[in-house]
Amino acid sequence: MKKLFLFLLIFTLITLKTFAQQDTTVAKVAEKLEEVKDALEGLNESYLETKGIVDALKKIKISGYIQAQYQSADIDGAASFAGGNFSAGMHQRFGVRRGRVKFNYDNDLTQYVLQIDVTEKGFATKDAYVQFREPWMKTFDLWAGVFNRPFGFEIEYSSSSRESPERSRLFQSLFPGERDLGFKLEVRPQDGPLSLFNLKAGVFAGNGVNAETDNNKDFIGRLGFSFPFTEENLAIDGGISAYVGNVSVPAGKSLVTVNSPTLATSDLTVRDAERSYIGGDLQLYYDLPVLGGFSLRGEYISGKQPGTSSGNGSYTAAPAGDVYLRNFTGYYLMYVQNVGDFNQFLLKYDSYDPNTDVAGDQIGQVAAAKLGVGDIKYTTLGLGWIYHWDSNIKFVFYYDMVSNETSKNLAGFTENLKDNVFTFRIQYKF
């Protein structure tokens, strides 16, 4: 009996110890499972956080291009629209014409866009705007900030894609910097016959991207169309544009109107000078057998342009003196021919007559003393060749041949100026 009792006691102790150990093991396992669960929940939270960051980063698009170039003019200090005047004593130069980086946060129906330009000349903001698209028909877009003026074709045609190194003298004079500060509405129907048309219209400060100088606001708009003829390998695009605005005449200064070779009127009572343009543009694209595709593009603009006694470009700051009002016309024609897969030949002709009411020797006459440098007509013939090294790099060889109106009565313009310019450019785009 004693032995049996001892055996049962030992068995009981061993059993209790075993159960105790099992309870401890179970507790430890449960604790480990809880730790694993917490770790998994932490990983899940980390994943969701990372996914949110990745999704946000996917909406950010970064693009840009840089244009490094060499230029040579006929004479030292040549005045030029091929990237600005040459410095005194120089007719050759190296430079970075454009160094652009563009950031676009695309959230489907809304966009934030910022584009900067960095060159050896400094830093400049090119685009800074927000764009909103209504969610129902996805037809109407509202833009606000700094962006390209919606006039014609060449203004909104990117400098990275444009075949000629610079825009025509006409657009550089009327729309310096291409951009302005304001609001714009775009209408682009998605379906049906109306999808062949688009409308861009807005209200702008009128002084480019500089600070506003008065209460005047300018209207700019373009009604465009795009007709594809797929079976014929042909496409025809175009549009009609309008600009309606004013330039404030400073207090105590005159609005000077020159509308004939012998008549220049000054009015001290006028407070606003009319600035109005009407224009039309057309682009034709056709794919030639064997040789390759070509494009033929052109624009024509006429209207009234306020300027200074010696300049016909648009104001980028408040006028300081008398404002001169001129009737003008201008146009350009451009032919681009693809040659194989890597080469392009281009021919461009542009004309800008800042004062259609006078010509030649009438400029500078004593009877019309208010006629001068700002009334001279210019034409430019450009020839170029482009070689695309790959999808990122292209080489541009271009020669501008500039001709100006001459007058025996205007010093410095009795003969054609020596202001032709050769440009060699390397562009990298990503």
pLDDT per residue as tens digits for the range 35-44 = 666 666 766 7
In a domain, 53, yes or no: no
Answer yes or no: are the C-beta atoms of 270 and 369 closer than 8 Å: no
Domain residue limits at 289: 62-429
Answer left, alpha or beta for residue 362, where phi above 0 means left and psi between -120 and 50 means alpha: alpha
Q: 3-state class of 3 per DSSP?
A: helix
Q: Is residue 12 part of a domain?
A: no
Cα–Cα distances (Å) from 46 to 32, 53, 54, 59, 301, in that order, read 21, 11, 12, 20, 59
How many CB atoms within 10 Å of residue 225?
A: 13
Alpha carbons 395 and 363: distance in angstroms, whole number: 41
Per-position DSSP letters for 175-210, written without gaps between them:
STTSEEEEEEEEE---SSGGGGEEEEEEEE-SSTTS
Burial class (CB in 10 A: 0-12, 13-18, 19+), 91: middle
Phi, psi angle pair for 268, to nearest 5°: -85, -10
**Residue 15, domain member (yes or no):** no
- What are the Cα distances from residue 395, in Å, to 160, 162, 188, 210, 342? 12, 13, 35, 33, 10
**95-150 residue pLDDT tens:** 999 999 999 999 999 999 999 999 999 999 999 999 999 999 999 999 999 999 99
Structure tokens at 402: 């500039």
CB-based burial, 123-147: b 16+ in 10 Å, e otherwise: eeebbbbebebeeeeebebebebbb
Q: Please write down the HEC assignment for all residues of 64-81.
A: EEEEEEEEEECCCCCCCC
Q: Is residue 5 part of a domain?
A: no
Residues in the chain: 430
Domain count of the chain?
Answer: 1
What is the Cα–Cα distance from 233 to 230, expressed in whole angstroms?
Answer: 5
Kind and range of the H or E run holding 44: helix 2-58
- Residuewise pLDDT in 10s, the chain (430 residues): 555 655 555 656 565 555 555 555 556 656 766 766 666 676 677 767 777 677 778 899 999 999 999 999 999 999 999 999 999 999 999 999 999 999 999 999 999 999 999 999 999 999 999 999 999 999 999 999 999 999 999 999 999 999 999 999 999 999 999 999 999 999 999 999 999 999 999 999 998 887 788 889 999 999 999 999 988 899 999 999 999 999 999 999 999 887 666 556 778 888 899 999 999 999 999 998 878 899 999 999 999 999 998 899 999 999 999 999 999 999 999 999 999 999 999 999 999 999 999 999 888 875 556 788 999 999 999 999 999 999 999 999 999 999 999 999 999 999 999 999 999 999 999 9
Q: What is the CATH number of the domain that holds 73?
A: 2.40.160.10
Distance CA 413, CA 360 (A): 10
| Those residues with Cβ within 8 angstroms of residue 311's Cβ, 6 or more apart along the chain or in another chain | 373, 374
Task: Tell me, yes or no, whether 9 lies in a domain.
Answer: no
Residue 211: the pLDDT is 73
